[in-house]
Amino acid sequence: MQKYRTEQIRNVVLLSHSNAGKTSLCENMLFQAKAISRLGRVDDGTTTSDYEPEETKRKISINLSLLPFEWNNTKVNLIDSPGYPDFVGEVKASLRAADGAVVIVSAASGVEVGTELVWKYADDGELPRIVFVNKIDRENADFFKTVEQLSAMFGRKCVPIQLPIGAESKFEGVVDLLSKAAKTPQSLADKIASFREKLVESVAETDDNLITKYLEGTELTEDEVRGALRSATIKGKLVPILAGSALQSKGIVELIESILHYLPSPRDTGKTTAQNPQTQQDEEIEPDESAPLAALVFKTTADPYVGKLTYLRVYSGSINSDSSVWNATKKRAERIGQLYMIRGKSQEATPQITAGDIGAVAKLAETGTSDTLCSKDHPLVLAPIEFPLPTLSVSVQPKTKADLDKLGSSLARLTEEDPTLAVRKDMDTAETVLSGMGEAQFEVAAEKMKRKFGVEVKIETPKIPYRETITVATKSEYKHKKQTGGHGQYGHVMFELEPLPRGSGTEFSSKVVGGSVPKNYIPAVEKGVNEGFKEGGLAGYPLTDIRVKLYDGSYHAVDSSEISFKIAASYALKKGVSQGQPVLLEPIMNVHITIPDNFTGDVMSDLNNKRARVMGMSPGGGVNHIDAQVPLAEMLKYATDLRAITQGRGTYTMEYSHYEQVPAHIAQKIIAESKKETEKA
Ligand code: GDP
C-alpha cells in the first residue's frame, strides 16, 4: 500500500442493528476497490470481516475488523463493528478509532432498536455520519418509509441525497439528487424534483451565504451545494441518506464516493486533547506527522500462534517499525518491532503508521487496550476508551484438572482482549466468577478458551454468598470428655451468644476470671469458634453478625489439651447457634436502571416480582432512572430480562449494598436444596 497523507485518510465505522448488512457492505466495498479479488458472502462464511470460527458459526460479527482499501488516492480504513448487544465493547472501541460513521438501516426492517442505540453512541462520540439504507432489493423494502422513520427518530437533519430506482425485485440502482448529469427515469421525475428541492433547502439553511442566495431565488451550483453539504455533515448538522443493496452490488460505488466526499479526514476532525503527565496540563495535539507521537491502543487480540496483536490509532506524529516508544499510561518503555496494516485476518508489513492512520504491532509486552504510546521526552496520555461496566456474572468451572491449571492464565488473556469482561475469585463461594454483558458473550468466551488455549469450561449460574446469623441472645455449654483408658481428653466451655447489627461480622472474646479456663487454652477455644463460624447449621453458609463470649468452663490438670478445648468450643457454638433462632441472610444490591419512559410500567412490575424495594425515580426527557434495592438472587439474569422487557433499550448498573434476612418461605427452599446437596456428596 502506498503512503497516504493525513488528509487522504478516512477512518469509518459501520454501525447498525444486527443483520442490517454491515459485513456484506464491507465485503462489497473491498471488492469494488479491488482490495479482494473474490466477493465473499456472510451466508457462506467467506467474508473478509468475519473470519473467526465463533463468527462464521453464528453468522454474526463478534470482533471489530479493520478493512482498509484504496480509492481515488484515498485510503479508507473501514471498521466493521458487531451489532449484537453483548459485544458493545467492540463497538465502543470502533467508535473511538473512527472519524466518521456509516449507519446502515435495512429498508425491509426500518429503524430498529439497535439503530437507536448506535445512533446514541455516535452522538456521544460526536461522530459525523451518513446513513445507507440497504436491502432495497428485499421483499417489503421501503426506502421512503425508512426515510420518514429516520427523520421522525433523529430529526430533520437526515436528508436523502439519492433515490432508489424501483425496489424489491425491480430495484435497478440509485439516482444522485445533486448531479445534473444523472440519468433520471421519467416515472421518478416528480419525486426527484421535490426531494432535490428539499435537499438544497436543507443544505442552504446550514450556510449563511447560501441561504441568502437561495432566498433571493438564485440557483445554487452543484459544487456549492456539495461543498456546503460536506461542511454540514462534518459538523453534524446534516446526515445524508443513501440507498442500495450490498448483495446486488448496487449503490456501493456511490457509497464509497460519499465516504470520501462527505465524511471527514483526520485533518478535518482536527485537534485532540491529551494530558501531559509531566506538567499535568492538557495539550491540544495536531493530526500532523511532525507533531509529537500520540497513539491510542483501541484493541488487543491474543492468539496462541500469532501472539499478541495491538491495534493503534495514531492521533499525532508517526510511529516507526523497529523503534522505541513510551507507554505513558503504564509508564513503561516498549519496543516496537514490525508494524502492520491489517485487513481482516491478513497483515501487511509497513515501515510506518502516520498521523490519522490505523494499524497494528505484534508482541508488545506491557501495553493494553486504552493505553497511549508516545515518545519518552514528550509524554502524552489520551483519554481512555469508556467501556460499559459488566452487569451479568457466571461461574466458570474447569472440566478437568488440566483445565483448572490453565484457567487463570487463559481467562486473563480473554479479559485483555475484551475489556467488558472481568474475572474474579469469589472468596465466599470459592468460584471463579466471570462478569460481562450477556450470555452470548460468555458462550463465545468459552468457545474461544477451548479453541485458543485448549481449556474446556462449564458456564454456570454463580452461587449466592448467603450468610447465617442468630436472632436472639442465648447461652450454651459443652463439655468434651473422654477419660476411659490411657491419656484422656477434657475441655469444657460456656458461651454467651448475641446477635450483632448487620454488617458487624463475627466477634469472639473471653471474660473468664479465676482461670476456670486457663489462659493458655483460650486461643484454642477461639480457633474452634472461628472454624465454627465458617459453616452455619441451617444450610452450611458462613455465620456473621454474631458475638461469642467465653464466660466460664472447667479444665482437668492432666487430660485437658488444646484440641479438647477446640472441639468443645466448636460443639458449644453449634449448640448455641441452633438455640439462637438462626436465619439466612442474603446480599441486597443497589441497582440503578435507565430506561425509555414508556417501559416504566413493565420494568416496575418485573421489579415487584423480584422482591425489589424502589428507592426513587427521576423521569425526564423521555428517560426514566430507577433506583432500587434488590436481592442478588433475583438479579442473576437481569441483563437478559431487562433486554427482553425493553427490547434492548434499557441499561443498568449494580453494586453490593448490605445483607438482609431471607424471607422464611424462600429460606426453606434454600435449606432444603442444601440438604439435598449434602446428601448427594
Ligand atoms: P451485519 O450483521 O450487519 O453484518 O449483516 P450481514 O452483512 O451479516 O447481513 C445479514 C444478512 O443479510 C445476511 O444473510 C446477508 O446475506 C443479508 N444481506 C445483506 N445485505 C443484503 C442486501 O442488500 N440484500 C439482501 N436481500 N440481503 C442482504
Evaluate: CB of 21 within 6 angstroms of ligand 1.
Answer: yes
Q: DSSP of 530-555, one letter per residue?
A: HHHHTS-TTTSPPB-SEEEEEEEEE-
Residue 58 forms part of a structural domain: yes
Contacting residues for 551 by C-beta, under 8 A, at least 6 apart: 494, 495, 496, 510, 511, 512
**In a shared domain, residues 310 and 338:** yes
**In a shared domain, residues 221 and 314:** no
CATH number of 562's domain: 3.30.230.10
pLDDT of amino acid 304: 66
| Number of folded domains that form the chain | 5
Quick one: cell of 413?
488473556
Quick: pLDDT tens for 499-549: 999 999 999 999 998 889 999 999 999 999 999 999 999 999 999 999 999
Enter the pTM of the model. Answer: 0.85
CATH number of 80's domain: 3.40.50.300
Q: Which atom of ligand 1 is nearest to the CA of 14?
A: 3
Of the candidates 315, 324, 413, 414, the one whose C-alpha atom is nearest the C-alpha of residue 372 is: 315
pLDDT band at 356 (very low <50, low <70, confident <90, very high): very high
Of the candidates 33, 15, 44, the one whose C-alpha atom is nearest the C-alpha of residue 134 is: 15
Half-sphere exposure of 60 toward its Cβ, with a 13 Å CA cutoff? Answer: 15
Q: How much distance in Å is there from the Cα of 513 to the middle of ligand 1?
A: 82
Quick one: cell of 177?
439528487
pLDDT band at 319 (very low <50, low <70, confident <90, very high): very high
Please, what is the average pLDDT of the chain?
93
Q: Which atom of ligand 1 is nearest to the CA of 20?
A: 3
Residue 210 forms part of a structural domain: yes
What is the torsion angle, in degrees rounded to the nearest 10, for the CA atoms of residue 336, residue 341, residue 343 and residue 346? -60
Query: Which of 330, 350, 382 is the endpoint of a domain?
Result: 382
Q: DSSP of 289-309, one letter per residue?
A: TTSPPEEEEEEEEEETTTEEE
Count CB-CB contacts under 10 A for residue 99: 25
Contacting residues for 430 by C-beta, under 8 A, at least 6 apart: none
**In a shared domain, residues 298 and 409:** no
Q: How much distance in Å is there from the Cα of 113 to the middle of ligand 1?
A: 17
| Cell 449448640 sits on residue | 575
CATH number of 315's domain: 2.40.30.10
CA-CA distances (angstroms) from residue 89 to 62, 121, 524, 627? 10, 11, 52, 25
pLDDT of amino acid 56: 85
Q: How much distance in Å is there from the Cα of 361 to the middle of ligand 1?
A: 32
pLDDT of amino acid 314: 97
Count CB-CB contacts under 10 A for residue 51: 16
Task: Write the residue with the smallest CA distance to atom 6 of ligand 1.
Answer: 21
What crossing angle do the helices spanning 401-417 and 439-453 adopt, rounded to 10°? 120
pLDDT band at 183 (very low <50, low <70, confident <90, very high): confident
**In a shared domain, residues 25 and 147:** yes
pLDDT of amino acid 649: 87
pLDDT of amino acid 18: 87
Quick: pLDDT tens for 614-647: 999 999 888 899 999 999 999 999 999 999 999 8
**In a shared domain, residues 443 and 364:** no
Q: Which has the minimum average pLDDT: 8-17, 108-117, 320-329? A: 108-117
Residue 672 forms part of a structural domain: no
Taking 90 as the threshold, does the pLDDT of residue 44 lie above it? Answer: no
Of the candidates 463, 498, 674, 518, the one whose C-alpha atom is nearest the C-alpha of residue 581 is: 498
Residue 678 forms part of a structural domain: no
Ligand 1 binding pocket mutation candidate from 31, 247, 254 (most atoms within 8 A of CB): 247
Task: Write the residue with the smallest CA distance to atom 24 of ligand 1.
Answer: 135
Report d(CA 159, CA 244) in Å as an integer. 15
Q: How much distance in Å is there from the Cα of 19 to the middle of ligand 1?
A: 6
pLDDT of amino acid 428: 80
Residue 53 forms part of a structural domain: yes
Task: Write the residue with the smallest CA distance to atom 2 of ligand 1.
Answer: 19
Residue 674 forms part of a structural domain: no
CB 634 within 8 Å of CB 433: no
pLDDT of amino acid 462: 92
Taking 80 as the threshold, does the pLDDT of residue 306 lie above it? Answer: no
CA 640, 642, 646, 650 torsion: positive or negative? negative
Q: Is 321 in a helix, a strand, or coil?
A: coil
Report d(CA 509, CA 512) in Å as an integer. 9
The CA-based angle 370-371-376, given to 5 degrees, is: 160
pLDDT band at 681 (very low <50, low <70, confident <90, very high): confident
Q: How much distance in Å is there from the Cα of 151 to the middle of ligand 1?
A: 24
Ligand 1 binding pocket mutation candidate from 24, 58, 79, 255 (most atoms within 8 A of CB): 24
**In a shared domain, residues 81 and 222:** yes
Report d(CA 506, CA 436) in Å as an integer. 33
CATH number of 398's domain: 3.30.70.870
Evaluate: CB of 16 within 6 angstroms of ligand 1.
Answer: yes
pLDDT of amino acid 508: 97
pLDDT of amino acid 344: 86
Residue 619 forms part of a structural domain: yes
H-helix or E-strand containing 143? helix 143-154
**In a shared domain, residues 75 and 43:** yes
pLDDT band at 677 (very low <50, low <70, confident <90, very high): confident
Q: Is 360 in a helix, a strand, or coil?
A: strand
CA-CA distances (angstroms) from residue 134 to 106, 252, 271, 492? 5, 10, 33, 82
Taking 90 as the threshold, does the pLDDT of residue 680 lie above it? Answer: no
Of the candidates 174, 344, 356, 181, the one whose C-alpha atom is nearest the C-alpha of residue 263 is: 356
Quick: pLDDT tens for 114-123: 899 899 999 9
CA 57, 61, 63, 67 torsion: positive or negative? positive
Q: How much distance in Å is there from the Cα of 43 to the middle of ligand 1?
A: 8
Quick one: cell of 3?
503512503
Q: What is the mean pLDDT of residues 144-166?
A: 95
Domain with 568 in it: 468-581
Query: Which of 211, 245, 269 is the endpoint of a domain?
Result: 269
Quick: pLDDT tens for 394-452: 999 999 988 888 999 999 989 999 999 999 998 888 899 999 998 899 999 999 999 98
pLDDT of amino acid 587: 94
Evaluate: CB of 22 within 6 angstroms of ligand 1.
Answer: yes
Taking 80 as the threshold, does the pLDDT of residue 308 lie above it? Answer: yes
Q: What is the mean pLDDT of residues 259-287?
A: 95
Report d(CA 7, CA 185) in Å as an integer. 37
**In a shared domain, residues 481 and 436:** no
Report d(CA 234, CA 211) in Å as an integer. 19
**In a shared domain, residues 121 and 151:** yes
CATH number of 611's domain: 3.30.70.240
Ligand 1 binding pocket mutation candidate from 13, 19, 46, 104 (most atoms within 8 A of CB): 19
Evaluate: CB of 78 within 6 angstroms of ligand 1.
Answer: no
Query: Which of 382, 403, 429 is the endpoint of a domain?
Result: 382
pLDDT of amino acid 156: 84
**In a shared domain, residues 40 and 148:** yes
Count CB-CB contacts under 10 A for residue 518: 13
Buried b (16+ CB within 10 A) or exposed e, 123-162: eebebbbbbbbbbbbbeebbbeebbebbbeebeebbbbbb
pLDDT of amino acid 283: 94
**In a shared domain, residues 135 and 262:** yes
H-helix or E-strand containing 439? helix 439-453
What backbone torsions phi and psi does residue 446 show, to the nearest 5 degrees?
A: -65, -40
Q: How much distance in Å is there from the Cα of 66 to the middle of ligand 1?
A: 19
Task: Write the residue with the smallest CA distance to atom 18 of ligand 1.
Answer: 21
Evaluate: CB of 23 within 6 angstroms of ligand 1.
Answer: yes
Q: How much distance in Å is there from the Cα of 114 to the middle of ligand 1?
A: 15
Taking 80 as the threshold, does the pLDDT of residue 303 lie above it? Answer: no
CB 75 within 8 Å of CB 1: yes
CA-CA distances (angstroms) from residue 454 to 58, 410, 457? 21, 9, 10
pLDDT of amino acid 53: 87
Q: In terms of pLDDT, which residue wins out, 85 or 569?
A: 569
Count CB-CB contacts under 10 A for residue 279: 9
Quick one: cell of 373?
504510546
| Cell 448483495 sits on residue | 247
Evaluate: CB of 6 within 6 angstroms of ligand 1.
Answer: no
CB 607 within 8 Å of CB 629: no
pLDDT band at 203 (very low <50, low <70, confident <90, very high): very high
The gap from C-alpha 225 to its chain's centroid, in whole angstroms, comes to 40
CA-CA distances (angstroms) from residue 542 to 383, 462, 666? 43, 17, 18
CB 269 within 8 Å of CB 350: no
Evaluate: CB of 83 within 6 angstroms of ligand 1.
Answer: yes
Q: What is the mean pLDDT of residues 11-27?
A: 94
| Cell 485483555 sits on residue | 416
Contacting residues for 285 by C-beta, under 8 A, at least 6 apart: 271, 272, 273, 274, 291, 292, 294, 315, 316, 380
Evaluate: CB of 578 within 6 angstroms of ligand 1.
Answer: no
Evaluate: CB of 266 within 6 angstroms of ligand 1.
Answer: no
Evaluate: CB of 141 within 6 angstroms of ligand 1.
Answer: no
Count CB-CB contacts under 10 A for residue 488: 15
Residue 569 forms part of a structural domain: yes
Evaluate: CB of 246 within 6 angstroms of ligand 1.
Answer: yes
326: β partners: 333, 374
**In a shared domain, residues 405 and 527:** no
Report d(CA 596, CA 620) in Å as an integer. 10
